[in-house]
Amino acid sequence: KFDISSNDFKTSHHTAQIPGLINVQTFFNNLSKTKVDEAQDFTALTKGAIAGGFTISSLMPIGDECVLSNSSELQKTHNNCHGKAYCDYILNALATPTNIDEISNIVSDTTSLLIPLNEKDPITLKDKMAEIIKFLNDWPSSFPVVADAKNADLAAFMFLADLQDRAIHITNVTTEQDISLIAMSKEKGLKVTCDVNVYNLFLSNADFDSKYLSSPSDVEALWNHIEVIDCFSVGATPFYVAKENGHESTSAGIEEALPLLLTAVNDGRLTLDDIVNRLYHNPRRIFEIPEQANTYVEIELDRKIDVVKDSFETSSLVWSALEGKTLYGHVHRTVIRGQTVYLDGAFFPEAVKGRDLSAIVNIT
Amino acid sequence: KFDISSNDFKTSHHTAQIPGLINVQTFFNNLSKTKVDEAQDFTALTKGAIAGGFTISSLMPIGDECVLSNSSELQKTHNNCHGKAYCDYILNALATPTNIDEISNIVSDTTSLLIPLNEKDPITLKDKMAEIIKFLNDWPSSFPVVADAKNADLAAFMFLADLQDRAIHITNVTTEQDISLIAMSKEKGLKVTCDVNVYNLFLSNADFDSKYLSSPSDVEALWNHIEVIDCFSVGATPFYVAKENGHESTSAGIEEALPLLLTAVNDGRLTLDDIVNRLYHNPRRIFEIPEQANTYVEIELDRKIDVVKDSFETSSLVWSALEGKTLYGHVHRTVIRGQTVYLDGAFFPEAVKGRDLSAIVNIT
Ligand SMILES: [Zn+2]
Ligand SMILES: [Zn+2]
Ligand SMILES: [Zn+2]
Ligand SMILES: [Zn+2]
Ligand SMILES: [Zn+2]
Ligand SMILES: [Zn+2]
Ligand SMILES: [Zn+2]
Ligand SMILES: [Zn+2]
C-alpha cells in the first residue's frame, strides 16, 4: 500500500518527489464528439496533464459536446480516448432526464455518475427529484454520485442523498454559501466530499468579468474553509475563462494548477502535504482509484515563473489568464509505471500508453 | 382539554356537531394594504369563514399586497383586521431577504414565520441559504417555520431545517413529487408537516387551465398520500383561479371547502374523522392553537347542493369554479364562545367579536 507521509517525496534542496497527481474533474470539451481536430484532441489534453504533474485524468462529462450518457456516446468516447492518452484516465457517466433505463449499459465501463444540476449545464436534472432519487439509488454505492449543484439545488441534492445515506461528491464549489453548507453537512455526518477548481482559488471576477469566477469574498471564504475542501481539480473553469476571452485550448489550466498551488506553499498559505492530500490521497480514497505502480512526479518547489503567454508547454501560446503573475514551482519530470513520459518540456509518447482505468476501478 | 374522538360531534340522523374549524392557510389579499374597499375587506373574508364552518383563520402572508414583514406592515394589518372579524384569527410573519434584523419587532404579535420560496411569490428567499438558515435558527422553536417551497426548493428547505432538527410546515403542496418527498422525509424522522389546499384535491388543470391547479395525476397522487397530509387548507388557490377567470372575491373557496370534503365523505373517500383531524386536531397540535371554549359547528352531512353561481353566501355571485358540480354537505350553524354567529345564511355581527389570537398563542 502506497503511503505518502514520509516516503512519497524525497526533499533535496528545493526539489521534491510526489505521487502522480489525480485531476478528479477533468474537462474534455470534445469527449464524445464525432470529429475532433488535432489541436483539441485527447492527446493535446493529456500532454497538458503530464506536463502539469497529473498521471490520472478523471473525465467528468460537463459541457456542450461532453456527454456520456448511453452506449453510442460511450463508443464515441472510446474512439476519442483509446490509444490517444499520455496519462491514465477514468470515464464517468452522465445522468440525463431520459437515460435512467439506458445507464445500466454503460455502468461497467464508467466509474462515477455525474448528475448535472448547474444552470449553465446544457442538460440538467434540476427540479427532477424523483429521477435524482432513482439515480442515487441505482448507481453502485461503491462510487460517489457527483453533482455540480449550487445554491438551493446543492441543498436539495444533499437532502436526497442523505435520505438514502448515500455518498456524494460536489464538484466545482465556488461560493461562500456553498462551501459553508457543505461544512455544516459534514459536521452533521453526511457522506459528502467536494472539490474546488484551482482557478477559483486564485482568480476572482475582479480579475476577469467571467461567469465562471466568483467574487473576491467568495474566494476568501473558500480559503477559510480549506479543511472542508477534499480535492483540488482543474475543471472547466480555465477552459471557459479562456473561451470568454476568445481563446480555445483543450489543456487550458492543467499545467498552471500545480504552480499556482506551489506558489501558495511558497507564500505559506498551504503545505505540500495539503496539496498531495487533495490531488492524490483524497481522490484515491473517495473514488476508489487503484495505485499506479512506480509513478511519481519530480518538482522544483520554488523555481520562479514570470508568466507570459507561452510560459506553459501545451496551453494557448497567444493568451494566458495568468499573464503578468509571478508563480513559484515547476514540474521537472513525470514518470508513469517506471517510464519518464515528460521531462522539462520534452514528451515521450512511446514511453507508455495511457490506460482507461474505469474497468479496473470497477473491479477493485 | 377538548377531545374529539367520541364527544366532539353528536350524530343525529344525518347531522353532526364538529369543533370550530381552523384554516391554517388563509389568504387575505389585502392584508397590509393601506386602503381596502368594503367588498374585499376582512369582514367579507371572515363572513365566508363562519359560513364555511371556520372559527379560526390563520393568515399566511402570501401574495402581492399581502406582506407582514415589519412594524409598519403589522400596524396596517392590525388596522385592517382588528374589530372587523367574524371569527378569531392568527397573524403570521413574512421573511424577506432584508428583514432579518427587523423581524424581532413583530415576533411577539405573530405566530409562525412564512419563508416565501415559490417562484410565484413577489418576494422570495429562493437560493438564499444563509438567510434561510438564520430565520430557521432565530424564529421561536415552539412554532413551525412555514414555507410554500416546491421541487428542489422544497428539498433544500427540508435539508436546512433538518440540519437544525427544526420543525417546519410545508403549505400548499400540489404535486406527486412534493408529497412523495414529504412522505419520505417523514419516514426518515424529519419534523415536517404539510397542508394541501382543498381546491387542489377536487380540481385539476383539466378543469381549468390554471397555473394554480395541478395535473389530474398529481391530484390522484395527493389522494394516494392522504395519510401524509396533516392539514387541509383553503389557501390562495380559489382566489387565483377565480381571478384567472376574471372574478375577484376575497372569500372565494372558503365556504366551498367543507362541502367539497363532505362530498368525499359521501363518496366514501374520506371519513368525517379524517376531516376533523385535518381541520382541527392537527392544526391545533402543529401550530399550538389554544382551545376556543363552547365553539362548534353544526353540519348536515348529506344535504345536496347543485352548485350554481350564487350557491354560497359570500363568494362571487356571478361565477363559481364549482358551477355544475353536485356537492353534499351544509353548514347549518356556527357557534363561537356559546354565541351563534351564523345560522342558515344569516350572520350575527353583534354576537361575538373575532379576536387576534396571535398574542395568546405566543403566551401559551
Ligand atoms: Zn531553490
Ligand atoms: Zn472501447
Ligand atoms: Zn463556515
Ligand atoms: Zn526541470
Ligand atoms: Zn339525510
Ligand atoms: Zn393592533
Ligand atoms: Zn409515496
Ligand atoms: Zn341548515
Residues 6+ away with beta carbon under 8 Å from B312: B48, B51, B255, B256, B320
Of the candidates A156, A177, A185, the beta carbon closest to that of B155 is on A156
Q: Is the predicted pLDDT of residue A1 greater than 80, yes or no?
A: no
Q: Please name the member of B129, B152, B162 whose beta carbon is closest to the beta carbon of A177.
A: B129
Determine how many CB atoms are found less than 10 A away from the CB of residue A75.
13
For A186, the closest chain B residue by CA position comes to B163
- Grid cell locating A52: 502539469
Say what the pLDDT of residue A10 is: 55
- Using a CB-CB cut-off of 8 Å, the residues of chain B touching A163 are 184-185, 188
Average pLDDT of the residues in A74-93: 96
Does the pLDDT value for residue A364 go beyond 70?
A: no
Q: Which of A304, A319, A303, A60 is nearest to A197 (CA)?
A: A60
For A187, nearest residue in chain B (alpha carbons): B163
Residue B157 with chain A: CB contacts under 8 Å: 155
- Distance from the A89 Cα atom to the nearest Cα atom in chain B, whole angstroms: 33
Q: Is the pLDDT of residue B220 over 60?
A: yes
pLDDT digits (tens, 9 = 90+) for A23-71: 999 999 999 999 999 889 999 999 999 999 999 999 999 877 789 999 9
Give A338 Cα–ligand 1 centroid separation in angstroms.
26
Nearest to B180 among A130, A155, A188 (CB): A130
Residue A210 has pLDDT above 60, yes or no: yes
A166 touching B (Cβ < 8 Å)? no
> Counting ligands in written order, which one lies closest to the CA of residue B313?
8
User: Using CA atoms, how far apart are residues A138 and A146, in angstroms rounded to an integer?
Assistant: 14
**In the predicted model, is pLDDT for residue A6 greater than 60?**
no
Q: Which of A153, A163, A181 sits opposite B152 (nearest CB)?
A: A153
Cα–Cα–Cα angle for B152, B158, B160, nearest 5°? 100
The one-letter code for the residue type at B104 is: S
Least confident of A85-89, A265-269, B136-140, B314-318: B314-318
- Confidence at residue A47, expressed as pLDDT on a 0 to 100 scale: 96
Q: Which of residues 171-210 of B touch A (CB under 8 A)?
A: 177, 180-181, 184-185, 188
- Residues B116-140, mean pLDDT to the nearest whole number: 95
Q: For residue A312, how far is its CA from the centre of ligand 4 (angstroms)?
A: 13
Which of A121, A122, A117, A176 has the alpha carbon at shortest distance from A150? A117
| Ligand nearest to the Cα of B221, by number | 7
Which tens digits make up the pLDDT trace of A276-327? 999 999 999 999 999 999 999 999 998 999 998 888 988 877 889 999 999 9
Is the pLDDT at B35 greater than 70? The verdict is yes
pLDDT category, B6, cuts 50, 70, 90? very low
pLDDT at residue number A3 = 38
Mean pLDDT of B79-93: 96
- Is the per-residue pLDDT at B1 higher than 50? no
Q: What is the pLDDT of residues A243-279, one digit of tens each?
A: 999 998 999 999 999 999 999 999 999 999 999 999 9
Size of interface A-B (CB pairs under 8 A): 57
CA distances to B36, B85, B93, B287, B324 from B79, rounded to whole Å, are 10, 11, 16, 24, 39
Inform me whether the pLDDT recorded for B5 exceeds 50: no
pLDDT confidence band for B309 (50 / 70 / 90): confident
Question: Does any CB of chain A come closer than 8 Å to the CB of residue B130?
Answer: yes
Residue B144: DSSP 8-state: P
Interface residue A126 vs chain B (CB under 8 A): yes
Residue type, B194: C
The tens digit of pLDDT for each residue in B156-207 reads 999 999 999 999 999 999 999 999 999 999 999 999 999 999 999 999 999 9
pLDDT for position B9: 52
